[in-house]
Chains A and B, each alone.
Chain A
């Protein structure tokens, strides 16, 4: 593990990423405990990720795609105030997901509304399942 002279939050994020790497073996194993929590749906045409990001708006979230790997990152800024109670998460976050199928990179759409981020990732045409007709002889 890399040792960096970073802020506490970055260190925590680094530890979290490490856990991410240790415990995740591809999609679908149900490991949670990172920010943001996500649901991922899949059908023949697309993947749809929904992430729980209360308090974050469009400009607070960055989405990057590198091949089949999607990364969601950003920062939940802490407001300076006198806190009587502080339970909501703050700090930088980053999560990556690698998909089994090639994606139609030019058709990816992301929308954030009411604290829910929805990213729709259509599968590349060549990656979609197709029916093969059996020729009658």
Chain B
């Protein structure tokens, strides 16, 4: 688990080496929605905890990741994918509690959890007297 950095992406990105300069994929995502909030699952194979960056600014969550897995330099007889960078942004709805956004990464899938604000949760049970 790592924290969400705000407005730090310029400096953080500049310090990172570019592994495959010039190639950026838009990662495929699933977004699930439940009472507690939303969850984004993004495919970023080759990236790990140290090479992903999640930011929130003005209602937009941006995910950036870099493949750090080593590409094989030997002569290729087949090449169907590249080790690349990933970037995608999402406008989040107003009921998301930006302070509580969290993210984790496992097996090349980045999971961003966007909880709803407590007041925005639906289906609050009211006891009828």
Binding site for B on A (CB under 8 A): 27-28, 30, 32, 37-43, 47-48, 50, 52-57, 79, 81-89, 112-116
Contact = CB atoms under 8 A, between A and B. Distances in A.
B108 interface: yes
B66 to A, nearest CB: 11
Interface of B: 28-34, 38, 41, 43-48, 68-69, 71-81, 107-109
Which of A30, A50, A112 counts the most chain B CB atoms within 10 A? A50
A85 B30 contact: yes
Contacts, number: 110
Contacts of A56: 107
A41 B71 CA distance: 10
Contact of A54 (B38, B45, B71, B78): B45
A39 B75 contact: no
A37 B74 contact: no
Contacts of B31: 83-86
Contact of B44 (A38, A39, A53, A54): A54
A52 B32 contact: no
A86 B81 CA distance: 21
Nearest to B34: A82
Contact of A41 (B32, B33, B41, B75): B75
B28 A87 contact: yes
B43 A42 contact: no
Contacts of B109: 54-55, 115
B29 A115 contact: no
A28 B80 CA distance: 10
B76 A41 contact: yes
In order of increasing CB-CB distance, the 6 nearest A-B pairs are A115-B108, A115-B45, A41-B74, A37-B80, A54-B108, A54-B43
Nearest to B110: A54
